[in-house]
Amino acid sequence: MAGQLTGQPIIILDREKTRTQGKEALGFNITAAKAISDAVRTTLGPKGMDKMLVNPVGDMVITNDGATILKEMDIKHPADKMMVEIASTQEDKAGDGTTSAVVLAGELLNKARILVEQNVHPTTITRGYSLASVKALEILDEIAISASDEVLANIAKTALTGKSADLALEPLVQLCVEVAQSIKEGGKVNVKENINIIHQRGGSIKDTKFVHGVVIDKARAHKNMPRRVDNAKIAILDTGIEVEKTKTESKIQISSAGMLSEARLEESRLVEEKVEALAKSGANVVFTEKGIDDIGMHYLNKKGIFAVRRCKDEEIKKLIKATGARVVSKVDGVEEDDLGKADIVEERGVGNYKMVYVEGCRNPKAVSILIYSGAEHVADEVERALDDALRVVGDVIEDGKIVAGGGSPEIELAMKLRSYATTLSGREQLAVLAYADALEEIPKGISENAGLDAINTIVDLRNMHSEGSSTAGVNVFTGKAEDMLLLGIVEPLRVKTQIIKSATDAANMILRIDDILMAKETGMMDVKPEHTADYYDGIQAPNAGED
């Protein structure tokens, strides 16, 4: 970019950068965001389709979960990355509704494009969208219904319907309700920290079960260790039980076979002393993040200690929460107060596939779910479905508020926002009306994915809502507009409010952009010297010479 000053060009932008301005920049961003929205739109509703995502090495994911789809897609456009953030935020805050949030954001931008073409300024549109979102949240609070524990099964059923979990819907619905209620603590349900989900080979999804305790997908360190320990006292280590290597580079000069034997005996003695100290603390079960070598296993076997090595960080965290143990960094530094407690620690399984069960824990809020399936891809999708269902059941337990499903809230919001728009005098009225139209795209998408006539469905829903049936929604199984509350199709209020917040914020952010500056792609050879590994923090690395 250059300006004129006394006839001389003034360069203020690198010529290697491309620049897009005004309506063209806005158009590029809206087109990109709408493409992402359209990509996930076909997954909406109980009859939505799945996506198969294949990475460069051939690994694939089959899912209809919006957050997973966007996470697995190789997205380059910056506006599209904002859409990915919408899904991620929706997943973190509410647990479900990711596809609806992305679709609504895409439709808000699409409606805004039409207004911009009619010479409505983007700032006016964002102001109108903000007014509409505030009003929509007020309306949602008004139409929300207080929930009791009896509706939790319906909440879980709505979340699981249309996913791979359909194959065993009723057992999984009951499992979700039971698990969510079992981990409730202080009025909160923390699914991420309290639930460990493990895949089991073979069997059917109907065999999926709930275990009151922690299940570790590992076997005993050695077959001679006890298979079961009652009244377990558990030590958790973040160090190995093995011969320690020296911290600094050193050499031991050995001049005879006797000296070699003495060195080995000394190493063995040091390990024996550590295990002896561990046993004196009262520990009869050990879980460690590190390894256990042959010498360590030998002395653990002699003491009758059950040990599991190479535990994952997440497994260690859940063990700590369940048993009350404290992580210790020295094998011989374990004291009685550091030990966790459980009624039973047992290895179970057939053949080479075994797992360790820790049951009867001090804190029963840490639990596990075992998913049985003959196909790993099915188990993955069932896990995602269970996670969503557990999260939304937790939302209702925490908030105690629900709304009807099936696109019912969106139709009610659209109708009331149109009435609200008539109270506005400026061009913001047009943006509020556009917001109402965008909301109706949710029930319209649900209808289209079920093979219904979307126009007729929307007309029927509008008529029912105008006559006072505020909970009327799309029944995709009959193709009719029906009362969702009577059918037991309900969703948490939190999911709907977060959809409004996320979609509005993202749409407004993109609408405010009127200038895009993009640099050319650079390879490693184009990186400035001060940004290379050899010149980190301004310290020039020594020249290693040529090969």
* Whole-number Å distance between alpha carbons of 189 and 342: 23
Distances (CA, A) of 503 to 68, 115, 426, 508: 18, 18, 23, 9
Looking from the CA of 119 toward its CB, the CA atoms found within 13 Å total 0
Q: Which of 80, 338, 387, 388 is catalytic?
A: 388
Q: Which of 43, 63, 65, 387 is catalytic?
A: 65
Any bridge partners for residue 347, and if so which? 356
Determine if residue 97 is left, alpha or beta; phi over 0 gives left, psi from -120 to 50 gives alpha, anything else beta.
left
Amino acid at site 220: R
95 three-class SS: coil
Q: Which of 43, 89, 99, 288 is catalytic?
A: 99
Cβ atoms of residues 164 and 373 within 8 Å: no
Identify which of 165, 150, 133 has the alpha carbon closest to the alpha carbon of residue 435.
133
Identify whether 80 is a catalytic site residue: no
Q: How many residues does the chain have?
A: 547
Question: Who's near 104: CB < 8 A, 6+ residues apart?
Answer: 438, 439, 441, 442, 499, 500, 503
Q: Which two tokens stand for residue 188?
A: 């909160």
Any bridge partners for residue 62, and if so which? 52
Identify which of 346, 322, 324 has the alpha carbon closest to the alpha carbon of residue 336.
324
Amino acid at site 351: G
Residue 532 CB burial class (10 angstroms; 0-12, 13-18, ≥19): exposed
* Whole-number Å distance between alpha carbons of 24 and 22: 5
Identify whether 98 is a catalytic site residue: yes
* Whole-number Å distance between alpha carbons of 101 and 468: 27
Strands 285-288 and 306-308: parallel
Identify whether 399 is a catalytic site residue: no
Any bridge partners for residue 473, and if so which? 482
Identify whether 388 is a catalytic site residue: yes
Q: Which of 43, 63, 89, 98 is catalytic?
A: 98
* Whole-number Å distance between alpha carbons of 425 and 369: 56
54 three-class SS: strand
Cβ atoms of residues 291 and 310 within 8 Å: yes
Question: So which residues are the catalytic ones?
Answer: 65, 98-99, 388
